[in-house]
Amino acid sequence: MMNKMAEGYQQNSRWQRNGGKRFVQNEVAPYLSNDILDLGCGTGELSAYLAELVGPKGRVLAVDPDKERIRVAQESHKEIENLTFAEGSTSSFPGLGLETYNVIFSNFVLHWVKNIEEKEKAFQNMFRSLKPTGKIFLRYGDRLPITFDRVFRELNPENMDRLLNLFEHETRPVIEKLCEANGFRILKSFDEKHDDLVFENGEGLRLFFWATTNGVFDPQLVTEERLEKFCARYSSGENGRIKLHFEENDTFSVLVAEKPAD
């Protein structure tokens, strides 16, 4: 079951990956050189993209605390020579404290890092592990999107409390404060609207929310009746597809910051 979850995640996480790719192209690519850390890499698709962009002269190390995701990542990207996967997290990763990295990249991870103390430690650890003038590129949730709240409430009301407890969102001003208090100079910090989320069918929706919530969202509770009622109210889409629109203030946050030169 756990194996299936990592694989389910890999197949169903295209949504955040597409946005992640755009972020890499628009913001990260100009700064890619030598040693890159992907912190919270999941099944490694964006790590592979970073490795491709940086080319053979650069190296990407990608870590995630989820053993199964790391196993799937290693298996899926084993032909990429300048990419290495390891178990790790914001509090423990190779090169911690050694001023090793030119770039630390982290896509949709910070809201999974438990409590403000752990988040503070994450900024400290990133700072201590970057070379002077090295940069961090983060995308993170600063609130639960209304769309997710609706999915949880309507399709899995039995698990609502557990679902809400999964994430530890902090607002953008709080994150900016943590970032600056730990020595970084903020280069960019802004909100962005989520892309619409499109599923081929109800099964795709069930799998996506099951995999992205580490199994807390129970697909079996999503009866056809619940799904039909939900789709009639909140989704559009043709040929069986389910398209979830995000509201104007359903945003996430982007942060780019630099460790000043010595």
Ligand X SMILES: C[S@@+](CC[C@H](N)C(=O)[O-])C[C@H]1O[C@@H](n2cnc3c(N)ncnc32)[C@H](O)[C@@H]1O
Q: Shortest Cβ distance from residue 188 to ligand X (Å)?
A: 19
Total residues found in the chain within this entry: 262
14 forms part of the interface with ligand X (CB under 6 A):
no
235 forms part of the interface with ligand X (CB under 6 A):
no
112 forms part of the interface with ligand X (CB under 6 A):
yes
Radius of gyration of the CA atoms of the chain, in A: 18
Distance separating the N- and C-terminal Cα atoms of the chain = 49
Q: Determine the Cα–Cα distance for residues 30 and 53; give it in Å rounded to an integer.
A: 10
Among 12, 107, 124, 156, contact with ligand X (rule: CB under 6 A): 107
Q: Shortest Cβ distance from residue 9 to ligand X (Å)?
A: 7
Render the burial of 133-170: b for 16+ CB within 10 Å, e for the rest.
Answer: ebbbbbbbbbbbbebbebbbebbbeebeeebeebeeeb
Residue 198 pairs in a beta bridge with 243
Q: Determine the Cα–Cα distance for residues 47 and 150; give it in Å rounded to an integer.
A: 31
Among 5, 72, 83, 113, contact with ligand X (rule: CB under 6 A): 113
Q: Shortest Cβ distance from residue 49 to ligand X (Å)?
A: 10
Q: Shortest Cβ distance from residue 77 to ligand X (Å)?
A: 12
Q: Determine the Cα–Cα distance for residues 29 and 17; give it in Å rounded to an integer.
A: 16
Among 12, 13, 102, 182, contact with ligand X (rule: CB under 6 A): 13
Among 5, 8, 12, 16, contact with ligand X (rule: CB under 6 A): 16
Q: Determine the Cα–Cα distance for residues 233 and 227; give it in Å rounded to an integer.
A: 10
Site for ligand X in 30-89 (CB under 6 A): 39-42, 45-46, 64-66, 69, 89
H/E segment holding residue 187: strand 185-193
Q: Shortest Cβ distance from residue 129 to ligand X (Å)?
A: 13
121 forms part of the interface with ligand X (CB under 6 A):
no
109 forms part of the interface with ligand X (CB under 6 A):
yes
Binding stretches for ligand X (CB under 6 A): 13, 16-17, 20, 39-42, 45-46, 64-66, 69, 89-90, 107-109, 112-113
